Structure 1
Amino acid sequence: MKGWIKLHRSIQTHWLYQERRVFSRYEAWLDMLMMANHKDNRVVLGNEFLDVQRGQFITSIRKLCEKWGWSKTKVTQFLKMLESDEMIVYFSDTKKTVITIGKYGFYQAGEDSEKTEEGHVEDTEETRKSTNKNDKETKKEIYTPQFDEFWSVYPRKLSKADAAKAWNALIKSGASIDEIMTATRNYTDECHGKEVQFIKHAATFLKNDRWKDHLLLDKLSNYKAKKADPRDKEIQFQQWLQQGRSPEEFNWGDS
């Protein structure tokens, strides 16, 4: 049979769904689809704000164990299996687990409009756009040659459209493309050998000047390698202050 059915998230409150049971892997996958945010959101976790993108949700391994009736090992192995099949990308630390559904638009239509089955297939993370007139940009207009160069270097290829949006905003603000690319190459080197879930999304890397954290890495390493004149450290210190960082946190080394 062909076609779609709609399954509302409120099904999770139905007594049939809330029955205590051990979830099958199929049930667990459906549960993850329903837990994912249908639009970008900001949530509070402890004492910090976290931006949660469309198709993402924040949980913990412990919560998934309790909800699905699984062991910690089974949950972790299931998430790794989904990631290896490019169905999700996930990241865990001591406070949370962030899960991103791959190609979320394929599974979830816009809630305010009907879509054909063909429309769902085309609704990938790279082509999904608002119907607002101001957002009707073509792929060619979004992905500039400079951005394509950045994307070819960046170590994690996920949510390209979001990354392009962050890139365009950054360039519009007057940021130097050469400096962004230097920081990107530094970060790529830094990520060598890391597991993919520990590498920032490209959009996260570009927003809030986080890329600047990696701008001076090459200069600092050159300083150490060449044992440069201590006065060079003063220049680095001034650059550190220009980035709005605390002078107490600057590493003076042996100079």
Structure 2
Amino acid sequence: MGEAYVKLFKKMLDWEWYDDSNTCRLFIHCLLKANWKSGSWHGIDYEPGQFITSLTTLSNETHLTVKQVRTALNHLKATGEVADQRQGNCRIITVNNWNLYQAEGNPVGKPRANQGQTKGKQGATDKEYKEYKEGNNKYICAFDEWWECYPRKKDKSRAYANYKARLNDGYTKEQLLTACKNYAEECRKNKTEEKYIKHGATFLSVNEPFLDYLKGENNGSGNTSDCGTDEEQRNREIDRFIDSDEYRNNDERPFT
């Protein structure tokens, strides 16, 4: 898809990292590098919105030092623009909300096919991309059903990113919905205050707290406000930060 392109929103001018040239540069580079369909490289699978790289490769491609790349990547991970997973000597970078940056249709004046490219080959590529887009819409519909059920409506974009990540881990949309319903029922029965209900992103985090609610029964804690482990305490601190004035939460903003 050498002729593919992505959308950049003008509200990016208000993005918190826009004035940080290294972080902004790395994020745009990630948008351009992300694959539009799933595949595999050297035995490592990747999904749409992901690409396989390393700090050294990113340094060479962006002409930033490895230290600058690491710092910029940490910025982007801290505010939810990307996720980073180590895979041996490589890294799988995931652009969260990647679908928001995918342009619809062709720009005015853009030819339907490159010179020298056969109509059949271009048609196959267009068909392939259309099938991907239709599949991605079903993906979003499944999350919308999950979100409608979840008992706390906060930081939707980060929850969506983690929802996709858990599906990529092998969990089914039915399992995630069951866990959501069971947790919502527990919160209702216990009359849990909203401030003690986990954010959706926390519930679906890589630590998998939702597993406690997959068996169709409560986890026996009896009080969702207790912080029994250091990890639970950390998750609550993240939630409190997102609730604070420091975190400019807006579900329509594509940079969270």
Tell me which interval the TM-score lies in, with the shorter structure as reference length: 0.3 to 0.5
Q: Which has the larger radius of gyration?
A: 1
Structure showing greater relative contact order (alpha-carbon pairs closer than 8 Å, 6 or more residues apart): 2
